[in-house]
Amino acid sequence: MNSSKLQSTLMKWLMPIANKVEQQKHLQAIKDGMIAIVPIIIIGSFFILPIAFMNVFQSGPIHEFFANHIDKLTYPDKFTNGLLSIYAAFFIADSLAKKYGMQSAQYGITAVITHVIMSGVITENGLDMTYLGAQGLFVSIISAIVTVEVTRFMINKKMVVRLPDSVPQMVGDSFSNLFPMIVNILIGSTIAILSTSLGDVAFPQVIMNVLAPAISSMDSLPSLLIVIFLTQFLWFFGLHGPAITSAVWAPFAITYQAENIANFASGADVTHIFTFGLYYNILQVSGSGLTLGLVLLMMRSKAKNLNAIGKVSIIPSLFGINEPLIFGAPILLNPFMFIPFVFGPLIVTALTYFGMTSGFIGMPIANPPGFLPPGVGAFLMTLDWRAVVFVFISLILMTLIYFPFFKAMEANEVKKENEKTA
């Protein structure tokens, strides 16, 4: 099947799915809310780059400068990506409310309060904000949808305070949302208290434990494929895949890494494949989905929207930060991207596994720093030039996998743009 026929086939089968997705209010609210936080993600991503520069320059005055000022240089990230789920809760709730004809911003604020109650953890030192960033995105979706649906139910049942029409609308909206806000706060508080009392963990951790299956051994091809599949699948729905799945695989990966380093130092055989470095420097190089090639395709796209997102995403992608692409293109809930984004990385994972077990690629013997350009981390991890070659082969392969799906998406975007200008 040639490229044009494949694109036509994809358009034929994916467009009906796209139309169904477009008509589903909750999915669209999630999508709209996630897209709304793109500027926040982009700004936060750029303020993470000093970490990458510090890691690139391992010593010398440049490294010392970044090391001595890293907290100040990355300070905005703590209030952008570090509180990302709060902003997501507001925008998702606001979008869903508007789809129901509920125009007040009060519903978004109620969702934020509910989300903070469900995700914030009270400690002796104050409020622990661990789950208010990317790790709380799934709970932000729950908070937003529950808040709006509860509020809508109470409005339909006339369980709200109604003031005379002579009262200013802002005041009327505030009082109208009073009882629904109370109910939502009680729901959020009940969930948070039950989670910490019965499970001894915060509610977001409960969700992570449910979504991240307990895998007894991570150092096998089936386990690697499950981890990558879940990561990509969750990302497709706007959930931070690594933040959720790492609750299970990170302890194993870190242990395996330490054993490899110790064995290498002592001259023993290095036996483990799945390490922290492998995940970020080969399996997810340039970001989840190995999307660097997709970014380059978008930079040359005829669709103005895709072209702009590609140009904005290129620099972060070079350092493994592709949230601007995931939320901006967007990849999330985009039927054109489901197959290549979710299943393409599984091919790279399998090739990586067989490459290392066969000896074609060196095993992980070091734990390189994060946010390094493609190939750099792979070399530092294995001290094998073939690993660098393999990284670029993987990126080229992923580009070829993305290409027909990208062309179908591009044709659809160009069509939309032409209809707007007609």
Would you say 148 and 111 are in contact if contact means Cβ atoms under 8 Å apart?
A: yes
The whole-angstrom separation of Cα 117 and Cα 126 is 13
The whole-angstrom separation of Cα 114 and Cα 144 is 8
Least confident of 108-112, 128-132, 163-167: 163-167
Least confident of 45-49, 64-68, 282-286: 45-49
Nearest to 85 by CA among 123, 43, 142: 142
pLDDT for residue 45: 66
pLDDT for residue 216: 43
- The 10s digit of each residue's pLDDT in 132-157 is 887 787 888 899 999 999 999 998 88
Confidence of residue 276 (pLDDT cuts 50, 70, 90): confident
Contacts of 247 (CB under 8 A, 6+ apart): 205, 208, 209, 212
pLDDT for residue 114: 96
What's the whole-model pTM score?
0.63
Nearest to 237 by CA among 159, 335, 378: 335
**Six-digit token string for 396:** 């080229």
| Average pLDDT over all residues of the chain | 84
Specify the higher pLDDT residue, 365 or 4: 365
pLDDT at 215 exceeding the cut of 50: no
Average pLDDT of span 234-240: 79
Helix, coil or strand: residue 8: helix
The whole-angstrom separation of Cα 302 and Cα 280 is 31
Helix, strand and coil content of the chain, in percent to the nearest 5, comes to 75, 0, 25
CA 382 vs. chain centroid, Å, equals 27
- The 10s digit of each residue's pLDDT in 78-104 is 888 788 889 989 999 999 999 999 888
Which residue blocks in 100-177 are alpha helix, DSSP H?
106-119, 137-156, 169-176
pLDDT at 56 exceeding the cut of 80: no
